Structure 1
Amino acid sequence: MSVAHAPNDTVFTQGGDAAAGLAALERRLAHDLVCLGWPAKPWMPPQQAEADVSVLDVAIIGAGQAGLAVAAALAQQGIRAVVFDRAPRDLEGPWATTARMETLRSPKELTGPALGLPALTFRAWFEAQFGTEAWARLDKIPRLQWMDYLRWYRRVMAVDVRNDTTVTAVRPRADGKVALDLATPGGSHRVLARRVVLATGRDGLGGPALPSFVQGLDRRWWAHSSDAMDYGALKGLRVGVVGAGSSAMDSAATALEAGAHSVDLLIRRDDLPRINKSKGAGVPGLTQGHFDLPDELKWRLRHYINVANVPPPHGSTLRVSRHPNARFNFGCPVLCVEAADAALEVRTPQRTFDLDFLIVSTGFKIDWTARPEYAAIAPHVRAWKDRFVPAPGQEDAELADSPDLGALFQLQEKTAGSCPGLDRIHCFCYPATLSHGAVSGDIPAISDGARRLASGMASLFYSEDFAYHFARLEAYDDPELLGNEWVPA
């Protein structure tokens, strides 16, 4: 019996009407897929194993919402993908592990990875179990309920996910294949893939952006907001949280709810931003047309959003401020941190804070060299900074480090010919935003990005295999007429 998390953090057991409603939705979805011919009939040429190493058409690294969406979109094109994820089954992505928000930021009406299928939307899944009245009462989607929905999505779309599998090396080859070294509970082995999709989330091309003041500081004193940790260990402690974004608020609230003695938010700015400018950019024209914009306009748009800064969600902020032992300290960039006796001294321009533990919520950075699995490609990936110089005053380190991607999210060489096969690796995660817009990581337009990538891959495969398909055309001999349908005059 499975469990679905319903509104207001209530947990409902899926029995009775809920189970019957979900079963009915699954029948409806299955019929829709049959009507659409989804998955399409296989048409790709069979791949022969090389020295007992299997050859896949597409390998996807990451089974979060992006990886699932791409795999399902490829199935619509008749292309089979295998998805590898290092997490145990049902714990893919951050939702049930390191994410700590109560609800998603995105409006509940957004269709996310549903790929144009009404019966595959979160709303259909929710209403099938809890009804239309509950949907009307729902404000934002609870985080754990979104994870339940993704687990269901994986099952009903029959996505082939290999859990507990870590990709330890990605090596493109000149012969049109990419070698992947895998570490699994059964041992290490290798597969080959004609194309690879990196659906590795916010930190998948690097890791946490760690400020200099924690470099060298013993790990018992601090954590990054993305770390997996037991917040119950903070009970009774004086906690500092560096930052004021979404994850900072979530970390602060989780610490307070776990019984922290106090939480001081150390906020560099003199005030919190009020407007989420990225919401104002979410129109179909941008979704479909961002890649075709001149480089100057792409940079201008993303830099404007970065500078404006995204405010923390309304609910997340109230979740912190309702605690009397939470303090919002503005104009307090951290200058240095020192461990003194049994506490931390955290110095800011305003004052020195005596704390027992520090959580740094400083986001992520792109750093290929920080990921050992990318050692073979890290020196060769072209970033925007390798060919684009922004206008004075628009310098932006995050954008400069972003990979400069081709029309189908493919990586490109910094120096032509230096890494043959690099363009067979497709970046379908947040760092693709500067090149393609927000279509590869966030909920609003992830279906658009997944379908763009899947249809483009179908075109690439057909072009590469044209001789095979033409030979099949020549050999095709299924008669439309038998010759006895008429009498000659």
Structure 2
Amino acid sequence: MTDQPAPTPAGLAALEARLRQDLSWLELPAKAWTMPRMQDGKDVLDVAVIGGGMAGLAACATLTQLGIRVRAFDRAPAGLEGPWATTARMETLRSPKQLTGPALGLPALTFRAWFEAQFGEAAWQALDKIPRLQWMDYLRWYRQVLALDIRNDHRVEQIVPRADGLVALSMLTPDGPRTVLARRVVLATGRDGLGGAYVPPVADKLPRHLWAHSSDEMDYATLRGKRVGVVGAGASAMDSAATALEAGAASVEMLVRRQDIPRINKSKGAGNPGLTHGHFSLPDAWKWRLRHYINKQQVPPPRGSTLRVSRHANAYFNLGAGLESIEAQGDVLHVQTPQGTFELDFLIFSTGFRIALETRSEFAAFASHIRYWRDRYTPLQGQEDSELSDSPDLGEAFEFQEKAAGACPGLTRIHCFCYPAALSHGTVSGDIPAISDGARRLGQGIAALLYQEDVELHYAALQDFAEPEVFGDEWTPALPPALRTAKV
């Protein structure tokens, strides 16, 4: 008996035909139902999404399926949205390959379907983790196959909620400055979406050419032959260190504040449908307790990313080496730690991100009016957490809420569908595992709000609806019994 050859993969054309059939069977997208609105002679969007990365794609796809007019705007050129092909430096994704990501319950829209259509089931079974750039290729296909309306090279300069029920977006476009009006705005702006990279104060006075944050776009080839330090021990720290080593750095010193590197990913242990759907309704104390515990335990770096560093003989893991001071002497950094002083030519801070809307000019019109968790919740002693305190307190549809009622009309028309929503909603707005659940919650919430605020118009449309199903020729009216001819 001879081995049978592996079946030839069906190809993307066949997968796309199946997806079209699935959408047709499910009657998706829904027919347009929202009430068109014009303002100053301009068409008003139902929803504008800022960001065309994974979260923005999932939000656009969900809203489109619900029959809502939506358009996304992204500052990056087409195909370079999000971090995957720009600032991300891991070899593979950290998430298990079988997670369905932004597929929104459609099997033909999953990464696995896309992968097997091109490479076959045997290749899928042999795959360990999803290569980072292949994930980006999948997201490009996702956008194309769903024909999502995304405008690239559009940089939003200002977001202004208005009292007339609209939000104005001022942006720079390839055709010059432009203002777009929308009834709702979704911020799908990623991990640093409401702030930016966090760099410890010890770096405040350092020459800028001697350091970078791990999220910065930079050419790691410039580190060839240099003594490099990397602050941190998380996934991005390992990715930055490995990239520097592979680019020819003379050495890389990992400067790790902790006495040991975390071993267990507690957030992985928390992931289940109960948490996904139940977190929003938990009491405040439980929301805080859960998120604080995960933050305190920290997420370990992936094993593969760590081995990618340690296989280099010129990589050094310095535990218990928190930063005490840094002094620049010419182009050499003298970094003082409890483990001694390190002389370095370049330092990479892999120190995470912060939520700080006040630092982003596009949020200036409303940042000070948002209700943050620090405005309404005091944690128990020992559970203090600046990231959680700085998180926005969001409503059921991820909408911002006012700190003082009436102080910023229209603020609730802006929805936060990025990482800082985690305390209010759980991790459903940025990470691969539950992004579809979050997108559907967002889309259904916005659909409800659009309908509720136009209920009078929908009632009038209901009254005007005049499509007959019965025409009057389907029967003959009966005569009264006394006038009927008796049948023999």
Fold similarity call, TM over 0.5? yes
Counterpart-to-counterpart distance in 2, 1:398 and 1:53: 40
Task: Give yes or no for contact 2:245–2:252 (8 Å, CA) kept in 1.
Answer: yes
Q: Which residue of 2 aligns with 1:405?
A: 394
Q: Which residue of 1 aligns with 2:171?
A: 182
Q: Which shifted more, 458-467 or 290-299?
A: 458-467
Counterpart-to-counterpart distance in 2, 1:393 and 1:63: 39
Q: Are residues 1:30 and 2:17 paired?
A: no
* Residue in structure 1 matching 2:242, options 253, 264, 284: 253
SS in 1 for 2:102: helix
Unaligned runs of 5+ in 2: 1-6, 479-488
Superposed counterparts of 1:257-272, under 5 Å:
257-272=246-261
Task: Give yes or no for contact 2:9–2:116 (8 Å, CA) kept in 1.
Answer: no
Counterpart-to-counterpart distance in 2, 1:190 and 1:131: 46
Q: Are residues 1:459 and 2:448 paired?
A: yes
- Cα distance, 1:183 vs. partner? 0.6
* Residue in structure 2 matching 1:65, options 54, 75, 91: 54
Q: Which shifted more, 271-280 or 210-219?
A: 210-219
Q: Which shifted more, 127-136 or 71-80?
A: 71-80
CA deviation vs aligned residue, 1:176-196 (integer Å, no higher than 9, x gap): 100110111211010110000
**TM score, norm. by length of structure 2:** 0.95
* Residue in structure 2 matching 1:207, options 193, 196, 221: 196
Counterpart-to-counterpart distance in 1, 2:12 and 2:71: 27
SS in 2 for 1:240: strand
Q: Which residue of 2 aligns with 1:427?
A: 416
Counterpart-to-counterpart distance in 2, 1:304 and 1:31: 45
Matched to 1:327, the amino acid is Y
- Cα distance, 1:20 vs. partner? 5.8
Q: Are residues 1:370 and 2:351 paired?
A: no
Q: Which residue of 1 aligns with 2:127?
A: 138
SS in 1 for 2:206: coil
SS in 1 for 2:171: strand
Q: Are residues 1:355 and 2:344 paired?
A: yes
Counterpart-to-counterpart distance in 2, 1:194 and 1:80: 10
**TM score, norm. by length of structure 1:** 0.95
Matched to 1:209, the amino acid is Y
Matched to 1:243, the amino acid is G
Counterpart-to-counterpart distance in 2, 1:341 and 1:68: 46
Counterpart-to-counterpart distance in 1, 2:411 and 2:272: 32
* Residue in structure 1 matching 2:36, options 46, 53, 58: 46
Change (3 A) 1:18 1:104: farther
Q: Which residue of 2 aligns with 1:437?
A: 426
SS in 1 for 2:440: helix
Task: Give yes or no for contact 2:161–2:409 (8 Å, CA) kept in 1.
Answer: yes
Q: Which residue of 2 aligns with 1:487?
A: 476
Q: Which residue of 1 aligns with 2:153?
A: 164
Matched to 2:120, the amino acid is G
Task: Give yes or no for contact 2:229–2:253 (8 Å, CA) kept in 1.
Answer: yes
Matched to 1:290, the amino acid is H
SS in 1 for 2:157: strand
Counterpart-to-counterpart distance in 2, 1:241 and 1:277: 24
Matched to 1:298, the amino acid is K
SS in 2 for 1:189: strand
Superposed counterparts of 1:49-448, under 5 Å:
50-448=39-437
Q: Which residue of 1 aligns with 2:485?
A: none
Counterpart-to-counterpart distance in 1, 2:252 and 2:216: 18
CA deviation vs aligned residue, 1:235-255 (integer Å, no higher than 9, x gap): 000000000000000000000
Counterpart-to-counterpart distance in 2, 1:431 and 1:381: 13
CA deviation vs aligned residue, 1:85-137 (integer Å, no higher than 9, x gap): 00000000000000000011110000000000000000000000000000000
SS in 1 for 2:178: strand
- Cα distance, 1:75 vs. partner? 1.2
Q: Which residue of 1 aligns with 2:483?
A: none
- Cα distance, 1:369 vs. partner? 1.1
SS in 1 for 2:289: helix
Change (3 A) 1:482 1:54: closer
Task: Give yes or no for contact 1:71–1:80 (8 Å, CA) kept in 2.
Answer: no
Q: Which shifted more, 294-303 or 35-44?
A: 35-44
Task: Give yes or no for contact 2:29–2:64 (8 Å, CA) kept in 1.
Answer: yes
Counterpart-to-counterpart distance in 2, 1:64 and 1:199: 8
- Cα distance, 1:342 vs. partner? 3.3
Counterpart-to-counterpart distance in 1, 2:429 and 2:458: 31
Task: Give yes or no for contact 2:9–2:120 (8 Å, CA) kept in 1.
Answer: no
Counterpart-to-counterpart distance in 1, 2:370 and 2:469: 51
Counterpart-to-counterpart distance in 2, 1:18 and 1:171: 53
Task: Give yes or no for contact 1:53–1:190 (8 Å, CA) kept in 2.
Answer: no
Q: Which residue of 2 aligns with 1:5?
A: none
Matched to 2:307, the amino acid is L
SS in 2 for 1:27: helix
Matched to 2:343, the amino acid is D
Counterpart-to-counterpart distance in 2, 1:53 and 1:215: 46
Counterpart-to-counterpart distance in 2, 1:342 and 1:267: 23
Matched to 1:40, the amino acid is A
Counterpart-to-counterpart distance in 1, 2:111 and 2:93: 12
- Cα distance, 1:60 vs. partner? 0.2
RMSD: 1.1
Counterpart-to-counterpart distance in 2, 1:276 and 1:459: 36
Q: Which residue of 2 aligns with 1:11?
A: none
CA deviation vs aligned residue, 1:60-85 (integer Å, no higher than 9, x gap): 00000000001111111100210000
Counterpart-to-counterpart distance in 2, 1:175 and 1:153: 35
- Cα distance, 1:53 vs. partner? 3.8
Counterpart-to-counterpart distance in 1, 2:67 and 2:28: 8
Counterpart-to-counterpart distance in 2, 1:67 and 1:18: 34
- Cα distance, 1:142 vs. partner? 0.5
Q: Which of these two proteins has the greater Rg computed from alpha carbons?
A: 2
SS in 2 for 1:405: coil
CA deviation vs aligned residue, 1:386-413 (integer Å, no higher than 9, x gap): 0100011100000000000011100011
Q: Which shifted more, 463-472 or 255-264?
A: 463-472
